[in-house]
């Protein structure tokens, strides 16, 4: 039990920026739903022994029939309705895990290009440090602006990273952090920000620039090109 990893897939978002009648998690990428790709990775990782999918209430039946059952994701033990916001959805996922859980990964269902080798790097660091997340160094110049859109400050991008998922934590510590955040009505921008505020330091693992999140319509096209490029490299 101590070496096992349990996973929460956050897939309850409506994705209004996609301008589509189909939520982004169920749009097709290389002939399969976006959510399928993330589930496939975790379902095949040996240390993962349980996956909980958090979906929108209106899409529970669709997700069960068209993804979990259709593709026989045996490690998915629960499919539960999410909350109004991602933070509430993750909290519900945490509440549905056994209290004996050691490490938990939280992943965006709309990040379909995840690779198992990155998961294992994060997992190894989380086992040692209690919390680990992937991130890539900023490539472009970043500036802070004021309320009138004038530049206030140019940031040193050598110390700035763009954060990704999965983020992996000691389960009991993350549950504690979420409980305190609920009491304080604190809204974090990601799971790590909640952990940082109430528990402590989080270890950064250099992520993968192709581990993109599907947010806009053009992201599907870009993701398909990345997937084709990766497949050609493996041949």
* 78-96 confidence digits (pLDDT tens): 999 999 999 999 999 999 9
Residue 56 · residue 92 · CB < 8 Å: no
Question: According to the model, what pLDDT value does residue 234 have?
Answer: 56
Antiparallel, parallel or unpaired: β 5-11 and 48-55? parallel
Burial 137-151 (b: 16+ CB within 10 A, else e): eeeeeeeeeeeeeee
Least confident of 13-27, 42-56, 122-136: 13-27
User: Among 20-24, 67-71, 166-170, where is mean pLDDT lowest?
Assistant: 20-24
- pLDDT recorded at residue 148: 97
Least-confidence region, from 68-77, 136-145, 226-235: 226-235
Per-residue 3-state assignment (H helix, E strand, C coil) for 185-233 = CCCCCCHHHHHHHHCCCCEEEECCCCCCCCCCHHHHHHHHHHHHHHHHH
Tell me, what's the pLDDT at 13?
A: 77
Tens of pLDDT, residues 6-32: 999 999 976 555 455 678 899 999 999
| pLDDT at residue 24, rounded to an integer | 87
> Which one, of 14, 164, 33, lies nearest residue 89 by Cα?
14
CA distance 58 to 159: 41
Q: Report whether 199 contacts 173 (CB < 8 A).
A: yes
User: For residue 195, how far is the Cα from the chain centroid?
Assistant: 15
Predicted local distance difference test score (pLDDT) of residue 229 = 86
Q: Residue 15's pLDDT is what?
A: 58
**Residue 5 pLDDT grade (very low, low, confident, very high; cuts 50, 70, 90):** very high
Asked if 52 and 80 touch (Cβ cutoff 8 Å), the reply is yes
Q: What is the mean pLDDT of residues 215-220?
A: 90
Please check the confidence at residue 231 and state whether its pLDDT lies above 80.
no
Under the phi-then-psi rule, with left for phi > 0, alpha for psi from -120 to 50, and beta for the rest, what region is 206?
beta
pTM of the model: 0.93
Residue 230 has pLDDT above 90, yes or no: no
């Amino acid at each position: 039990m101590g070496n096992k990893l349990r996973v929460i897939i956050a897939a309850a978002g409506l994705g209004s920026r996609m301008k589509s009648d189909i939520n982004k998690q169920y749009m097709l990428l290389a002939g399969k739903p976006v959510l399928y790709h993330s589930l496939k990775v975790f379902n095949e990782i040996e240390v993962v022994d349980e996956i909980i999918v958090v979906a929108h209430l209106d899409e529970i039946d669709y997700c069960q029939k068209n993804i979990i059952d259709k593709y026989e994701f045996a490690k998915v033990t629960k499919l539960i309705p999410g909350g109004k916001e991602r933070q509430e959805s993750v909290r519900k996922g945490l509440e549905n895990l056994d209290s004996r859980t050691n490490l938990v990964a939280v992943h965006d269902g709309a990040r379909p290009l995840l690779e198992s080798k990155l998961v294992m790097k994060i997992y190894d660091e989380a086992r040692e440090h209690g919390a680990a997340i992937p991130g890539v160094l900023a490539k472009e110049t970043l500036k802070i602006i004021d309320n009138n859109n004038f530049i206030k400050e140019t940031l040193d991008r050598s110390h700035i990273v763009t954060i990704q998922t999965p983020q992996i934590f000691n389960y009991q510590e993350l549950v504690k952090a979420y409980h305190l955040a609920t009491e304080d009505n604190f809204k974090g921008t990601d799971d790590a920000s909640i952990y940082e505020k109430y528990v402590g330091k989080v270890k950064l693992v250099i992520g993968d620039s192709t581990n993109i999140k599907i947010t806009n319509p053009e992201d599907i096209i870009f993701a398909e090109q990345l997937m084709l490029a990766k497949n050609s490299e493996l041949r």
